[in-house]
Structure 1
Amino acid sequence: MHFTLALVLYRIFFLLLTPILLLALLLRSITQQAYRQRLGERLGILPKQLQANGIVIHGASVGEIIALKPFIELLLNYYNDLPITVTSFTPTGSAQVKKLFADKVQHCYLPLDNLLSSHLFLQRLQPQAMIFMETELWPNLIAQCHRQQVKLMLINGRLSAKSMRSYQKLTYLLSPTIQRFDKILTQSQVNQDNFLTLGARPAQCTLSGNLKFDIAINKALAAKQQELASLLNEPRNIWLIASTHPGDEALALKAFNQVKQQDKTALLVIVPRHPERFEQVATLAQNAGNTVIRRSQKQSVTLATQVWVIDSLGELLAACALANVVTMGGSFSDIGGHNPLEPALFKKPIIVGPDMSNFSEILTQLHTANAIVQLSNDQPIPEALAEAVIRLLSDNNFAESLGNNAYQVVQANQGATRLTFNALQQLLQ
């Protein structure tokens, strides 16, 4: 199928789909009110105070925004005469932008990818450059940027085997979309090869490494760590399960019953991925027979507390710093896992489930460095999880070795932020 026809059909389809997507956002807002707010931005109707002729960076949600932080800070320092606009697609991503940058950047949602909404978006912002991250491919918006001679970059490019299987069914639409980018910076050679397979030109592609390695402990993070630590009255073993999804908590709570038999003072810290589940997770932990405190209650965590639910935004990294063992949620189902580099920054031993497909290259490096414990489906997960946690809480040498090895992997792979920034500078010359 010719690309022009494919794009026309895509535009018609997405225009017809827009009311359904808006309805989906409204239904989602039943449990999370933020989804019904700022609906105009979803249609490309942006606040009038947003300045034009700058740089727009899109990070879909929380993880991408956090990974973009060092890069955005470089932009703010070097391009201090240009408006920097950071877009997201989720309310949690939006909250993270405001938390990290306040009024240092402009912020709005990226609109739905229909012809009118993206036209209004570009008409308001008129960017010099539009930067997308990882697998964010918006055929209509990218085509309009290209037509208006907006510089296009895809950074931290990632195409997993799972994504490839889906994308290859749409090559007639996605291959020309990929070819419209001026630069494609990829996390690894495997990812770059996948982009080339989908139609990218070798001259477009550069191997930059992964922005998610470029994390560091700053003053704000250290202060947040101290704030959380002040709520812990007694020294005790802390097991944290991070970025949990439905099903993760039930597994962890079942495993925790075995952990408590070995260590009656152990504390389980649960950090749900999505705010709309905070109440549900706290209730689940309580119904499992635990004494539960929620972070929002701002109460001291005494020895009587068995489960601490972090029902707040932007405190995961600080919570990792306090843990003895960290398990990454989203790795026990088909979610594909979450970033294990965050606990690695604090030299914490890390446990993950069978599915870490979203972080396959990072996982390979951690495995090679003997820096992670990955469970398999060879035995029931709750039992395997309990065994792994108990071992790490009781074997200090093993836990310390895992944590130090993970930290070395982080340190050895830093530098993608500077390479990405240099590529943008060259593009804007």
Structure 2
Amino acid sequence: MYLVTPLIMLRLLKRGVRYGDYHKRWPERFGFFDGARVRESLWVHAVSVGEVNAAEPLIKALRGRYPDAPLVVTTVTPTGSERVRQLFGDSVFHVYLPYDLPFAVTRFLRHVRPRMAIIVETEIWPNLYLTCRRRGIPLMIANARLSERSLRGYRPMGSLVRRALRCVRLIAAQSRTDAERYRLLGADPDKVVVTGNMKFDMPVPYDAERQGQELRLQWGQLRPAWIAGSTHEVEELQVLEAHLEVLKRLPDALLLIAPRHPERFKLVESAARSLGLSVGTRSADQVPSTAHQVFVIDAMGELMPFYAAADLAFVGGSLVPIGGHNVLEPAALATPVLVGPHTFNFQEITLTLIQEGGAARVGSVEELASEVVRLLGDAAGLERMGAAARTVFDSERGAVKRVIGMIDDLLRE
């Protein structure tokens, strides 16, 4: 870790250029921050936006169960930090996770003095884990998932990762597959349990459906609309090309597109205009009009109302080998789901949705366009898919309650 510190500094410089205020918070990555108001805290680490969203119901449950304990939430990315601020404001203490350098980890733990550490999904940092054990801080991995690609990535550091995982008191895995992969990586089999996916327990914004209906009125109740959420580079152009094909069959169709990363907002807008499409944006136009063929959602944290407003949702990161993003967000709003071939980040959930009829998989841009046209022309089919997706979402809830019970036990010990 010391040897790669010069590369870390270069990465900080690059990120500071991309995200204006990030350079002001560099010291946090080395354990320097004002943590005077947090002692005996409960610490939750969620690396970025997806993990913060997954942790939301757990953090809210912890706040209700332990109202007197300060809650510390760490992230790694600026977008994750912004999402914490949107969801929790000043009700939690947010700081960036320090790099896995011994002095930085020690300084961080000395500041926040956690009664317990809860790592969300997949973050295995040897110095952090070993220091928690030395300081007697119980460590838990909640909503644990481990893709086949991550398993392969950790294996070259096998003995070090095994040592780190042996510091963990409990691993609450999303699925049997995730549990088995953690065991293969070296976790104590007796400390790995399957609790389900906490993302099923995410709160559906109480007014998302109402906001969706209001958005829908702006472009017409009968106008066919589909959304591509959390899209990535290359994939965004593929989605726009698919929409050109859709327009040949459905000339009044509307595409709502929400790039995963803010730095891509302008690029996607420019790409759509270069293809001759009429484009609106959230920042400039607020809502789509009847004149817009494409509407870029260039804002963070506003995806759910647009999922509610759309007839059909394509969840990004799946036409390109990113592994897919959260299919539960549209499912929670009874919006039918389309995914590409690469869904290893949400493998079991996606398969369940497909098997139960709430989602469909497409293998290419041509298949995406064809399936969008087919479904937008089948109102009854869309309604059946949406109902099936919501049923899957409702039936899988309960993971947070199980995880909270385990946290109670560890804190009592």
Q: Report the TM-score when normalising by structure 2.
A: 0.96
The reply on whether 1:217 has 2:200 as its aligned counterpart is: no
Q: Structure 1 CA distance, aligned partners of 2:167 and 2:66?
A: 24
- Contact persistence 2:281–2:287 (CA under 8 A): no
In structure 1, the partner of 2:181 is: 194
From 370, 383, 392, the counterpart of 1:409 = 392
Equivalent residue of 1:264, what SS? coil
Q: Which runs of 5+ in 2 are unaligned?
A: none
What corresponds to 1:7 in structure 2? none
Residue 377 (structure 2) aligned to one of 394, 412, 422: 394
- Please state how far the C-alpha of 1:167 moved relative to its aligned partner: 1.9
Q: Is the 8 A contact 2:122 2:146 kept in 1?
A: yes
Indicate how the Cα distance of structure 1 residues 201 and 160 shifts in structure 2: closer, same or farther if over 3 A, else same.
Answer: same
- Please, what is the CA RMSD of the aligned residues? 1.6
The answer to whether the 8 Å contact 2:307/2:313 transfers is yes
Distance in 2, Cα, partners of 1:208 & 1:331? 25
One-letter amino acid matched to 1:400: E
Report the secondary structure of 2:3's partner residue. helix
Distance 1:182 1:312, change over 3 A: same
Q: What SS does the aligned partner of 1:181 have?
A: coil
How far off is 1:357 after superposition?
1.0
Deviation at 1:307, TM superposition (A): 0.8
Kindly state the Cα deviation for residue 34 of structure 1 after the two structures are TM-superposed: 4.2
Q: Do the aligned partners of 1:97 and 1:107 also contact (CA within 8 Å) in 2?
A: yes
Report the Cα distance in structure 2 between the residues aligned to 1:227 and 1:118, rounded to whole angstroms: 48
One-letter code of the match for 2:358?
A
In the superposition, relative to structure 1, how do residues 110 and 354 fare at CA in structure 2: closer, same or farther (>3 Å)? Answer: same
Is the CA contact (8 Å cut-off) linking 2:358 and 2:388 kept in structure 1? yes
Please state if 1:342 is matched with 2:329.
Answer: yes
Local SS of the residue matching 1:331: coil
For 2:160 and 2:360, the matched residues in 1 are separated by 40
Q: Which amino acid aligns with 1:145?
A: C
1:76 aligns to 2:63 (yes or no): yes
Structure 1 alignment gaps of length 5 or more? 1-13
Distance of 1:204 and 1:406 partners within structure 2: 32
Secondary structure of 2:94's match?
strand
Contact 2:48–2:75 under 8 Å retained in 1: yes
Q: Is the 8 A contact 1:216 1:345 kept in 2?
A: no
Q: Partner of 2:89 in structure 1?
A: 102
Give the 5 Å matches for 1:239-258: 239-258=226-245
Relative distance call for 1:222 and 1:52 in structure 2 (3 A) is farther
1:204 aligned to 187, 191, 204, which one? Answer: 191
User: 1:291 matched to which residue of 2?
Assistant: 278
Q: Give deviations 1:350-382, integer Å, cap 9, x for gaps.
A: 111111111111122122212211112xxxx22
Distance in 1, matches of 2:205 and 2:95, equals 26
The question of 1:62 aligning with 2:49 is answered: yes
Go from structure 1 to structure 2 and tell me whether the alpha carbon gap of 1:56 and 1:230 turns closer, same or farther (over 3 Å shift).
farther
The answer on 1:306 being equivalent to 2:293 is: yes
Q: Secondary structure at the match of 2:322?
A: coil
- Kept in 2, the 8 Å contact 1:231–1:299? The answer is no
Task: Report if the CA contact (8 A) 2:46-2:75 is conserved.
Answer: yes
- Alpha-carbon distance in 2 for matches of 1:356, 1:259: 24
Measured after TM superposition, the shift of residue 32 of structure 1 is 2.9
Q: How many residues were matched structurally?
A: 412
**Contact persistence 2:133–2:167 (CA under 8 A):** yes
Opposite residue 402 of structure 2, the aligned amino acid is L
Q: Which moved more, 1:294-303 or 1:97-106?
A: 294-303
State the alpha-carbon separation in 2 of the partners of residues 97 and 227 from structure 1. 27
> What are the equivalent positions in structure 2 for 1:11-30 lying under 5 Å apart?
14-30=1-17
Structure 1 pair 257–298 and aligned structure 2 pair: CA distance change class (3 A): closer
Matched, 1:384 2:371: no
Deviations 1:377-396, CA, capped at 9 Å, x for gaps: xxxx2221110000110012
Match of 2:122 in 1: 135
What's the counterpart of residue 306 of structure 2? 319
Match of 1:355, SS state, is coil
Match of 2:407 in 1: 424
Whether the aligned pair in 1 keeps the contact of 2:281 and 2:288 (CA below 8 Å) is: no
SS of the residue 1:219 aligns to: coil
Measure how far apart 1:235 and its partner are: 4.4
1:310-339 CA distance string (max 9 Å, x none): 010101112111110100111011101111
Cα distance, 1:189 vs structure 2: 1.1
8 Å CA contact 2:209, 2:308 repeated in 1: no
Give the TM-score taking structure 1 as reference length.
Answer: 0.92
